[in-house]
Structure 1
Amino acid sequence: MSGADLSRDPATAGLEVYVVGGAVRDELLGLPAGDRDWVVVGATPEDLSRRGFVPVGGDFPVFLHPVTKEEYALARTERKSGRGYQGFTFYTGADVTLEQDLRRRDLTINAMARAPDGALVDPLRGQADLQARVLRHVGEAFVEDPVRILRLARFMARFADFSVAGETLALCRRMVEAGEADALVPERVWKEVSRGLMSAKPSRMLDMLAQSGALARIMPELQAVDRVGAQVDRAAAEELPLPVRYALLCRECDRREALGKRLRVPADCADHARLLPVLLSVLPGAVDASGRLAAIEQCDALRKPERFMALLQAAEVTGAPVALAAWRRWVDAVRGIDAGAIAQACAGDPARIKPALRDARLNALRATPAA
Structure 2
Amino acid sequence: MQIFKVGGAVRDRLLNQPITDIDYVVVGASPQQMLDAGFQPVGADFPVFLHPETKQEYALARTERKSGHGYGGFEIYSAPDVSLEDDLIRRDLTINAIAEDEQGIIYDPHNGQADIAQRVLRHVSPAFAEDPLRVLRVARFAARYANLGFSIAPETLELMQQLAQSGELNHLTPERVWKEVSRALMEPRPDVFISSLRECQALSVLFPEVDALFGVPQNPKSHPEIDTGLHLLHVLRQCAIHKQSLAVRWACLLHDLGKGLTDKDQLPHHPNHDKAGIPLIKAVNQRYRIPKEQAAMAVLVGQYHSLCHRALELSAEQIAQLLYALNAIQHPQRLIEFCAACEMDSCGRYGFEQQPYPQSDFLRGALDAAKAISSQPFIEQGLKGPAFGEALLTARTEAIKHYMVHYQDINQLIE
Normalising by structure 1, we get a TM-score of 0.91
Displacement after TM superposition at 1:339 (Å): 1.6
- Cα deviation, 1:55-87, whole Å, max 9, x if unaligned, reads 111222111100001111111111111122211
Displacement after TM superposition at 1:354 (Å): 4.4
For the residues of structure 2 that align with 1:350 and 1:194, how far apart are their CA atoms? 41
For the Cα contact (< 8 Å) 1:102–1:112, is it kept in 2?
yes
The answer to whether residue 254 in structure 2 is matched with residue 250 in structure 1 is: yes
For the residues of structure 2 that align with 1:366 and 1:257, how far apart are their CA atoms? 34
- Cα deviation, 1:339-367, whole Å, max 9, x if unaligned, reads 2312423x379876445323321332233
Aligned to 1:296: 323
- Cα deviation, 1:171-229, whole Å, max 9, x if unaligned, reads 11112222211211111011001101011111111111111111111112224233212
Aligned to 1:186: 174
Which of 284, 292, 301 lines up with 1:267 in the alignment? 292
Q: Which amino acid aligns with 2:359?
A: A
Which of 396, 400, 403 lines up with 1:365 in the alignment? 400
The answer to whether residue 232 in structure 2 is matched with residue 232 in structure 1 is: no
Aligned to 1:199: 187
Aligned to 1:309: 336
CA change 1:58–1:357 in 2 (3 A) is closer
Displacement after TM superposition at 1:258 (Å): 0.5
Aligned to 2:3: 17
Displacement after TM superposition at 1:46 (Å): 1.2
Residue 342 of structure 2 aligns to a residue whose secondary structure is helix
For the residues of structure 2 that align with 1:336 and 1:99, how far apart are their CA atoms? 66
Q: Which amino acid aligns with 1:357?
A: L
Which of 21, 40, 50 lines up with 1:64 in the alignment? 50
The answer to whether residue 391 in structure 2 is matched with residue 356 in structure 1 is: yes
Residue 78 of structure 1 aligns to a residue whose secondary structure is strand
CA change 1:367–1:19 in 2 (3 A) is same
1:1-371 → structure 2 map (5 Å cutoff): 15-160=1-146, 161-222=149-210, 223-224=212-213, 225-253=229-257, 254=277, 255-283=280-308, 284=310, 286-287=312-313, 288-319=315-346, 321-345=357-381, 347=382, 353-368=388-403, 369-370=406-407
For the Cα contact (< 8 Å) 1:38–1:72, is it kept in 2?
yes
- Cα deviation, 1:23-71, whole Å, max 9, x if unaligned, reads 1001111111211111111111111111101111122211110000111
For the Cα contact (< 8 Å) 1:315–1:322, is it kept in 2?
no
For the Cα contact (< 8 Å) 2:317–2:397, is it kept in 1?
yes
For the Cα contact (< 8 Å) 2:164–2:200, is it kept in 1?
yes
Residue 142 of structure 1 aligns to a residue whose secondary structure is helix
For the residues of structure 1 that align with 2:157 and 2:301, how far apart are their CA atoms? 34
- Cα deviation, 1:112-141, whole Å, max 9, x if unaligned, reads 011111111111110110111100000000
User: Mind listing any 5+ residue stretches in structure 2 that lack a counterpart?
Assistant: 214-228, 258-276, 348-356, 411-415
For the Cα contact (< 8 Å) 1:282–1:291, is it kept in 2?
no
For the Cα contact (< 8 Å) 1:278–1:299, is it kept in 2?
no
For the residues of structure 2 that align with 1:242 and 1:144, how far apart are their CA atoms? 30
For the residues of structure 2 that align with 1:286 and 1:329, how far apart are their CA atoms? 12
For the residues of structure 1 that align with 2:390 and 2:120, how far apart are their CA atoms? 64
Residue 367 of structure 1 aligns to a residue whose secondary structure is helix
CA change 1:348–1:17 in 2 (3 A) is closer
CA change 1:205–1:350 in 2 (3 A) is closer
Displacement after TM superposition at 1:230 (Å): 1.5
- Cα deviation, 1:240-296, whole Å, max 9, x if unaligned, reads 100110011011112111011111111111111111133324332553433322321
Normalising by structure 2, we get a TM-score of 0.82
Residue 209 of structure 2 aligns to a residue whose secondary structure is coil
Displacement after TM superposition at 1:298 (Å): 2.4
Q: Which amino acid aligns with 2:328?
A: A
For the Cα contact (< 8 Å) 1:113–1:121, is it kept in 2?
yes
Q: Which amino acid aligns with 1:180?
A: E
For the Cα contact (< 8 Å) 2:64–2:76, is it kept in 1?
yes
How many residue pairs get matched?
Answer: 356
**CA-atom RMSD in angstroms:** 1.8
For the residues of structure 1 that align with 2:91 and 2:383, how far apart are their CA atoms? 74
